[in-house]
Structure 1
Amino acid sequence: MGIGHDHDVTGGAAGAHAPGGLAGAQTAATAHRRRLKIVLSIYVTIILAEAIGSWLTNSLALLAEALHMAVDASGILIALIATYLATRPATKRRSFGMMRAEIVAVLINCLLLFGLGGYILFEAVDRWFNPDEVAGGGVILFAVVGLIGSGISLTLLSRGSKESLNVKAAFLEVMSDGIGAAAIIISGILNLLYGWNQGDAIAAAAIGVIILPRAFMLLKQAINLIMQGVPNGIELAEVELEIEKTHGVASVHSLHVWGLTSGVSVMSAHIVPDPDATGGVTHARLLDSLTETMRERFGIEHCTFQLEEADHLLHEGSMHRDLAGMNEAPSVSGGQDVGHSH
């Protein structure tokens, strides 16, 4: 007989939990919401300063940096909105609530970054062949303001960048802004010393080049979440091995591990209990043992295990057998039909 069992983020005793047990839980990005707000405030200040500086100094590099930071600020704003949406309760239509809003936010940010990177590179090429007079001293002054702001923001986001994809996106954005500010300072120095106005175009192009690889990296990570890939840092073979090592388990199949959003991993598996296990291992104790192992070993808080008889897989649908590695459905003679389907 198949037994469905689900543990939500709070663990708990054996028994079924209602769908949406994770909805409203704190995601990794939510924990750093206050710091994201501070960084956003810093960015708004720097954007205004660099936009004014670009107008006063006729610097394309400062304009590129201001636009870059404006896109980054919009990304941080989107990330903040996503953290609020992620805490909304589940509904009958969305059993996990809005936890995956963070992924949508990252995708929007990637599209903005691709567009901005292309625009800056186009303008930089034009400025290289048609250089304008640039006020090097003013460029340095405004770029230093941006560099200081980036340094403060990096410090604020450092810890969260290891826990949340959205915070990591913000961290990388700030880092690239800092590099861009440093490049602008160098171009300003060259302008002051040698009157070389084309250095401004090079600095702008450097900002554009910095943007694109970062956008590709974030897009790759977001796609892995969308495609329900195994989260980074978790090996499916290791999860399977730990389950099979658990006392009372005969075998495991239909094992799936994926991420709902960054920092929130979930899993499901079909378990065949060992009928000859010693020590009086009840189904409830086995489920609790498996859940504890997944939480402590892999940080997976939301686990769903189905306990079933050894021949139950033969009664599953063809897609289920394919996913379990059984491509053909052998005939079953005798025995009791467990009468369970997915």
Structure 2
Amino acid sequence: MSTEHSHVAAGTGNERALLIALALTSCFLIAEVIGGFITGSLALISDAAHMFTDSAALAIALVAIKVGKRLANKKRTFGYYRFEILAAAVNAILLFAVAIYIIFEAYQRFKNPPEIQSMGMLAIAIAGLCINLISMRILSGGKDNSINMKGAYLEVWSDMLGSIGVIVGALVIGWTGWSWVDSVIAVAIGLWVLPRTWKLLSDSLNILLEGVPEGTDLTAIEQATLALPGVKSIHDLHVWAISSGKVSLTMHVISEENANVLLKAIQLMLIEKFEIHHTTIQLEQQACTQASEVHSFG
């Protein structure tokens, strides 16, 4: 028995924002790569590398939304909602790879610091910062409702910090001539991004492994269900997320009460207390044979 629930793909309203941000980022990426090699700045190349991952992340996020809109069928009964989680995981892996490369390259440059053209580095970094701020503003509306959009927003946010770091580095190099500052800024950008990238990757893996969604208290759900009149015990309680904001729950409930009345009470409680709308609840008068094979409550 199931509650009524929405089958609309998460994040479908974010396509236009992603498309605009992708166009802005991709256009500036070319200029920043060229500028990084001309000025000899690793920090600028680091920022350009993040711009590349920004573009890849935005493109993947856009594809994820389009694929996620495809209807469920007999082969994909949940549709393609989970594609956005795969996209978020890929984005996190890209960020890890870029951060490791930048740290390695910075180590090489510490041993032999190159000459840095600080004014060119400064001009390009300022332009990059403007692009980042515009993209962040465009993407901010959907970041709290979709892990896919959150990943794309995080990419642009981290690159914004990178642009600020490059600007500071360019000013310091221009005033002091300390070219090693460029490598320090590049490493700082990589280290700043890594913890946030790990959080994005762990959230994605938790969903892919059908773990309990963050912020969902399984014990509280158990206690709230057992507190309802007529509920003797429960077992086979599972809570997972198909995609961002699409939490599902299944459980078996032992009761001899009126099935329809109790079912409605459980469904209403799950919606009001835990905002879980997609539920499948099996009512039984005695525990089924599966109960001895899995974790049971009560």
TM-score interval for Structure 1 and Structure 2 normalised by the shorter chain:
over 0.9
1:183 corresponds to: 165
Instruction: Report deviation, 1:198.
Output: 1.5
Shift, 1:42, TM fit: 2.1
Match for residue 50 of structure 2 among 47, 68, 71: 68
Unaligned 5+ segments in structure 1 are: 11-21, 276-281, 327-342
Question: How far off is 1:8 after superposition?
Answer: 4.1
Question: Structure 1 CA distance, aligned partners of 2:264 and 2:63?
Answer: 36
Q: Return the index of the structure with the highest Cα Rg.
A: 1
For 1:299, the equivalent position in structure 2 comes to 275
1:236 to 177, 199, 218: 218
Note the alpha carbon deviations across 1:205-249, whole angstroms, 9 max, x for none.
222223322222112111211221111111011112222233443
Q: Say if 1:324 and 1:55 are closer, same or farther in 2 by CA, change over 3 A.
A: closer
Give the alignment partner of residue 262 of structure 2, picking from 286, 300, 314: 286
Are 2:9 and 2:81, in contact at CA under 8 Å, matched by a contact in 1?
Answer: no
1:312 matched to 2:294? The reply is no
Q: 1:9 aligns with which of 5, 10, 33?
A: 5
Deviation per CA, 1:308-329, whole angstroms, max 9, x where unpaired? Answer: 11x233xx14xx4232338xxx
Instruction: Determine the C-alpha separation between the residues in 2 that align with 1:240 and 1:156.
Output: 40
Offset, 1:182:
0.9
CA distance in 2, matches of 1:34, 1:250: 51
Residue 338 of structure 1 corresponds to which residue in structure 2?
none
Deviation at 1:152, TM superposition (A): 2.1
- Aligned to 1:158, the other structure's residue is in SS state helix
Higher mean alpha-carbon deviation, 261-270 vs 155-164, is at: 155-164
TM-score (norm 2): 0.92
CA distance in 2 between partners of 1:150 and 1:68 (Å): 11
Aligned partners of 2:53 and 2:155 also within 8 Å: no
How many residues align? The count is 297
Question: Which of the two has greater helix per residue?
Answer: 2
Q: Which amino acid aligns with 2:243?
A: T
Pairwise CA distance, 1:70: 0.6
* 1:61-116 deviations in Å (ceiling 9; x for gaps): 11111111111221121111111212211222221111111121122222222221
Distance 2:104 2:14 in 1: 36
Shift of 1:153: 2.3
User: How large is the Cα RMSD of the aligned pairs?
Assistant: 1.9
CA distance in 1, matches of 2:196, 2:280: 35
Map of 1:244-263 to 2, 5 A cutoff?
244-263=226-245
Q: 1:80 to 1:52 in 2, by over 3 A?
A: same
Structure 2: how far apart are the matches of 1:210 and 1:136? 23
Structure 1 segments, 4+ long, off by >4 Å, are: none
1:323 corresponds to: 294
Paired with 1:264 and 1:194, the residues of 2 have a C-alpha distance of: 54
Percent of aligned pairs sharing the same letter = 35
